[in-house]
Chains A and B, each alone.
Chain A
Amino acid sequence: MHYKCEKCNKLWYYPIKNCIFCKEKIKRIIPRSFNVKALTEVNSPSFGHEKVPYYVLLLEDEFGNTHVKKSYKKYEIGNELDYNKKGKISASPIRYDPYEAIERTTRLLEGFDINNGTKTLIRVDLLNFKFSLLQYLVEFLIDNNTKKDNIIIVYDAEEENRLLTKFDIGSLGIKTKKLDKENLHDANLVINLASVDSKKEFDSKSKSLYILFSKIRGNIKNQHPMLFASFNHKILKDALKKLDQGKEIDSITGEEIEIIKDSLMA
């Protein structure tokens, strides 16, 4: 994702709000397709990248901007990056901009099917709740044609006090409701939003996270569980591994979890 001043034509790779040259508002540039411009096979392990070989791709998007990306899949120069695998859980690290992570998780799921009539329900996991992530998700949905009135934030009844006293949910201008089966079935789109920020946090909350992903599935279509971590790939990797291993809980629904990961997580 890039940030561009359309007046000055300056480009940033960091989330910038206003242009330092002309003070204009910055526009987010969201690329959708990536071609491999160059690549290298890395054979030297380093901390955080112990498994070799891996590939570092220099990708060019449809705007002509380039990106560096790690991959365990071998590509050839000129190949298009393969993001097209459907799944039930999408996970992405947050790099500099949570908005980018949200955009990326939707891309991993082939995007949301959203129109201005889509009733969207965001289920928040308060044990791992990041208010800013919720703010960005709402912004993303509105940017993608969801009507504000059609968005509902739901939460477990026992967590009501925490949600309403600790966070300024009202500032979002979005309806909130306690979670029940009815409001789940009324929705066209259900997003399970969770974040993991520390290993300790994940260790203590992994069960609830897992349940969050598993118990809501089943009869509901258009569910998009999303998991985020504050750019700590290792924690997110560990989280995904634990979810992968949680088959006994998954048997409640009798479904196999298919986790679609950003290729960073592979």
Chain B
Amino acid sequence: MYILGIGRTKFGVLPESIPEMMYASIYRALDDANMDVKELDAIFVSNFIGDSSYNQAHLSSIASTLLPDTNLPSFRVEAACAGGGVALHLGLNTLHKYKNILVIGVEKMTDLGSMESLRSVCSATDLVLEQKEGLVFPAAGALVSQQYMKKNNVLLKDLNLVALKNHENANLNPYAHFYGKKVTEDMINNSPIICSPLRLFDCSPNSDGAASVIISNEKRNKRAVKVAASEMATGNIHLAIEKDITHFPATRIAGEKAYKAAGITPKEINFAEIHDGFTAMEMSSMEDLKLCKPGKAKELVRNGITKLNGELPINMDGGLKANGHPIGATGIAQVYELVTQLRGEAKKRQVPGNIGLSYTFGALVGSASVHILRG
């Protein structure tokens, strides 16, 4: 299985509509793959809140409408924040039927008010047991962060290091939501507390944006990147069901399956894109994915191991924190970054290595998707 082409829009506050963003990313992916649109055989579209917030469902048909007279089979996928990764997983698993598949992720979020966006995103949690109890996502992230920090003696300063690193990386990524924004530790420490202990800079932003990849079983050119593994696992939608909310079985299982499928050990991963919806989650996920031992992520962060010039760069594109988090597109954008790195085309943020991992999750953690790509 190969990624033949990639395309994305800038993430951030964009004036474009959902179809316009989708079209821009599709156009670039086809161009990147040097592929004619008529060679496509199927489409998968990841989107989360289009129907609940904009009354725009049926994005599979919008994708088809953007490619007139192709009449391709097209499927919409929703798995909260893991949607992009899950759409790619489904696409890769149908390559036995369709030769070339377009996988798109798209989200429009920024023209919703903060109250509306909190409500919409919260729809990924249990209506009765969580939403009615005021467990908005930052609150869930805060509970997880608090427990994780307490268990592992992680300090607020460590969370700051994660945010600072991801903003530094985003400043090398012209497509990033916060490209050009200089962030300092003082800014972080003076930012408002959203849900204690999480401040504004511990939370990923609402972003608009789209990303696309074209996948195939055929390696059509030298720039094609091999998909060594694509795995997905699910867990409980209700956070409180987990006895230990600092680590999540779905993440661990998806990771273990992916390493097995790729025939590698976690030590062989050279760099990774890891879902950092909340700064502490970047650290706890590194542990669940066995990129370090339990409780040791803080040491990697403190010692700069996860920075671009470190031994295990994490979130080279700025992560959800600073690249942005247009929910349906996020999982695809992570793969976009891995492909860019593996091709050696990441310019100032280029890191060495030939094996990259991406991980994204929906809710905490109801859906987990892991991809391993090899250059």
Bound-state CA distance A93–B133 (Å) is 11
CB distance from A10 to the nearest CB of B (A): 11
Contact A70 B119 (CB under 8 A): no
Is B326 at the interface (CB under 8 A from chain A)? no
Residues of A within 8 A of B195 (CB): 40-44, 56
Bound-state CA distance A264–B239 (Å) is 18
- Interface set, chain B 299-345, CB cutoff 8 A to A: none
Contact B139 A42 (CB under 8 A): yes
* Chain A, Cβ-Cβ closest to B138: A44
Contact B133 A264 (CB under 8 A): yes
Known pairs A38-B143, A40-B146, A43-B193; A58 contacts B134 (CB<8 A): no
Bound-state CA distance A38–B196 (Å) is 11
Interface residues of B, count at CB 8 A: 35
Known pairs A64-B243, A68-B239, A69-B133; A40 contacts B142 (CB<8 A): yes
- Interface set, chain A 42-75, CB cutoff 8 A to B: 42-50, 54, 56, 58, 64-70
Contact A95 B136 (CB under 8 A): no
Is A147 at the interface (CB under 8 A from chain B)? no
Known pairs A40-B195, A43-B195; A13 contacts B129 (CB<8 A): yes
Is A96 at the interface (CB under 8 A from chain B)? yes
Interface residues of A, count at CB 8 A: 32
CB distance from B241 to the nearest CB of A (A): 6
Bound-state CA distance A41–B242 (Å) is 21
Contact A43 B241 (CB under 8 A): no
Q: Mark B95-122, 1 if CB is under 8 A from A, else 0.
A: 0000000000000000000111011001
Contact A46 B115 (CB under 8 A): yes
Partner of B128, one of A45, A48, A231: A231
Partner of B119, one of A47, A67, A68, A93: A47
Contact B134 A13 (CB under 8 A): no
Contact B133 A43 (CB under 8 A): no
- Interface set, chain B 144-165, CB cutoff 8 A to A: 146-147
Bound-state CA distance A93–B132 (Å) is 10
Is B77 at the interface (CB under 8 A from chain A)? no
CB distance from A247 to the nearest CB of B (A): 30
- Interface set, chain A 12-54, CB cutoff 8 A to B: 13, 37-50, 54
Contact A233 B132 (CB under 8 A): yes
Residues of A within 8 A of B130 (CB): 68
Known pairs A38-B143, A45-B115; A95 contacts B194 (CB<8 A): no
Residues of B within 8 A of A43 (CB): 192-196
Contact A13 B241 (CB under 8 A): yes
Contact B129 A41 (CB under 8 A): no
Contact B136 A46 (CB under 8 A): yes
Is B64 at the interface (CB under 8 A from chain A)? no
Is B257 at the interface (CB under 8 A from chain A)? no
Known pairs A38-B146, A44-B195, A56-B133; A67 contacts B128 (CB<8 A): no
List residues of chain B with CB under 8 Å of any chain A CB.
Answer: 114-116, 118-119, 122, 128-136, 138-139, 142-143, 146-147, 192-198, 238-243, 245
Q: Given contact pairs A41-B193, A44-B136, A68-B239, enumerate 19 new A-B contacts (beta carbons under 8 Å).
A: A11-B241, A13-B129, A13-B241, A38-B143, A40-B197, A42-B139, A42-B194, A44-B138, A46-B134, A48-B134, A56-B133, A56-B143, A58-B245, A68-B133, A68-B240, A95-B128, A96-B128, A231-B132, A233-B132
25 A-B Cβ contacts within 8 A? A13-B238, A37-B147, A38-B143, A38-B146, A38-B147, A38-B245, A40-B139, A40-B197, A42-B138, A42-B139, A43-B194, A44-B195, A46-B114, A46-B118, A47-B116, A48-B132, A49-B136, A56-B134, A56-B139, A58-B240, A65-B240, A70-B135, A95-B129, A96-B128, A264-B132
7 closest A-B pairs by CB: A46-B118, A40-B142, A70-B134, A66-B240, A49-B134, A41-B196, A70-B133
List residues of chain A with CB under 8 Å of any chain B CB.
Answer: 11, 13, 37-50, 54, 56, 58, 64-70, 93, 95-96, 231, 233, 264
